[in-house]
């Protein structure tokens, strides 16, 4: 794969000159590039969630999310899908 990438040739030409199957080259290029992309993804992070056993008094914070320097407080615990989307947006 490294030899092909350095060659600068078209896939079909590279394979024809070396007696390789074009579909095999394409398969391995796809796998290599996919693995490279997966290696560039940031690792998933878990956010600790502390659940209070009692109902907070009126006006108290029921849920506080902190990511980096940003913090968001909620009087009620929001739906999990909302929290997930908010954390995704905060992480940008």
Per-residue pLDDT of the chain in tens (92 residues, 90 and over written 9): 888 888 989 999 999 999 999 999 999 988 888 888 776 666 666 667 666 666 656 667 677 777 777 788 887 778 888 888 887 777 66
Structure tokens given for 54: 């009692």
| Structural domain for 23, as ranges | 2-40
* Domain co-membership, 15 together with 51: no
Claim to verify: residue 17 and residue 55 sit in the same structural domain: no
Residues 82, 52, single domain; the answer is yes
Residue 23: CA count within 13 A, CB half-sphere: 0
pTM for the model stands at: 0.41
In this structure, the answer to whether residues 50 and 84 fall within a common structural domain is yes
In the chain, the number of structural domains is 2
Which one, of 70, 67, 77, lies nearest residue 47 by Cα?
67
What are the start-end ranges of the H helices in 1-92? Answer: 2-7, 11-18, 22-40, 80-90
């Amino acid at each position: 794969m490294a030899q092909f990438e350095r060659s600068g040739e078209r896939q079909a030409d590279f394979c024809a000159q070396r007696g390789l199957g074009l579909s095999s080259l394409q398969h391995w290029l796809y796998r290599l590039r996919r693995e490279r992309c997966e290696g560039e993804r940031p690792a998933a992070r878990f956010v600790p969630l502390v659940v209070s056993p009692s109902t907070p008094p009126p006006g108290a914070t029921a849920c506080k999310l902190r990511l980096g320097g940003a913090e968001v407080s909620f009087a009620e615990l929001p739906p999990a899908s909302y929290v997930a989307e908010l954390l995704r947006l905060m992480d940008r």
